[in-house]
Structure 1
Amino acid sequence: MKIKLFPFLAHWPLEASVSGDVITINGEDIDLSGILDGFRLPGSAVDNKFFVETEYVERIGKTLQFTLRLPVHWDSPEEYRNPAGPIIVDARSGLVKLPNTSPVVVPVTELPYIREGKENGGLEQA
């Protein structure tokens, strides 16, 4: 399966795995084996919120191709919120390796504690 990922601002969890022509999304099995070579159907026909309704689910040769929503946060890494090009995952069997869209954690620098004292203008470092 070739899965194109469409960034979508949402707080949904997304886990997916593939076995043959079945993709399991958050525990829901979606059997796409009925799509024959050269045929396609709109994503809305799949009836799953992760499938992009305006994109097609199609089979080209033996490969199923479709677009899924990739949940991102407002502070997810820029390369996933606004990718320069399409993010495409080639999923063959097992767990689908999705990008980590967790918010970026900025390290916090601790400032030294300063206490009042008589020396050095009344301030000294602890």
Structure 2
Amino acid sequence: MKIVLSPQRREDTLEVIKTGDILTLNGEEFDLSSIGEGDTLPQSAIDSPWFVGPVDRVDGELVLTLLLPNPWNYSQEQAFPVPLENVPDGPVVLPAPLSVQLAEAGQEDMQ
């Protein structure tokens, strides 16, 4: 599975767990196993604000884009995320924000 992340400044959080072709987003399960090779599931067919664009299966791999919420103390890794390739089963590690202390120190440097 390849997950592309689309950052957006917002205060909510996203927890992603992958089990085969099933993604659980903040406790809601999405079974994507019915998407066949070369098929596309349009975003409009997915009842979730977390999917940004369609889900495709290319060369046997699911390719999708998820919204990545960025808090006020977002990191460069969150602002400019790299696609997550060959995502293993289990909790998906998303880019983390800066520590509050580091973010506040950075704001002080700008003043």
From 91, 98, 101, give the equivalent of 1:95. Answer: 91
**1: CA distance, partners of 2:71 / 2:18:** 25
Find the aligned partners of 1:12 and 1:50 in 2 and give their Cα distance: 11
Residues in 1 aligned to 2:71 and 2:83: alpha-carbon distance in whole angstroms: 19
Alpha-carbon distance between aligned partners in 1 of 2:77 and 2:26, rounded to the nearest angstrom: 24
Q: What is the CA–CA distance in structure 2 between the aligned matches of 1:9 and 1:24, rounded to whole Å?
A: 22
Check conservation: 1:76, 1:104, Cα contact below 8 A: no
Q: Give the alignment of 1:65-104 within 5 angstroms.
A: 65-81=63-79, 83=80, 87-90=82-85, 91-102=87-98, 104=100
The alignment yields a C-alpha RMSD, in angstroms, of: 1.9
For 2:45, what is the secondary structure of its paired residue?
A: helix
- TM-score under structure 1 length normalisation: 0.72
- Over 3 Å counting, the alpha-carbon distance change for 1:102 and 1:37 in structure 2 is same
Partner of 1:122: none
Q: Pick the structure with more helix per residue.
A: 2
**Aligned partners of 1:71 and 1:101 also within 8 Å:** no
Could you tell me which runs of 5 or more consecutive residues in structure 1 were left unpaired when the two chains were aligned. Answer: 109-126
8 Å contact kept, 1:5–1:88: yes
Distance 1:87 1:47 in 2: 25
Partner of 1:44: 44
Q: Which one has a larger percent strand, Structure 1 or Structure 2?
A: 1
2:58 matches 1:60: yes
Q: TM-score, normalised by structure 2?
A: 0.81
- The DSSP-based 3-state class of the residue aligned with 1:89 is coil
Larger radius of gyration: 1
Gaps of 5+ in 2: 106-111
| 4+ residue runs over 6 A deviation | none
Q: Does 1:4 align with 2:4?
A: yes
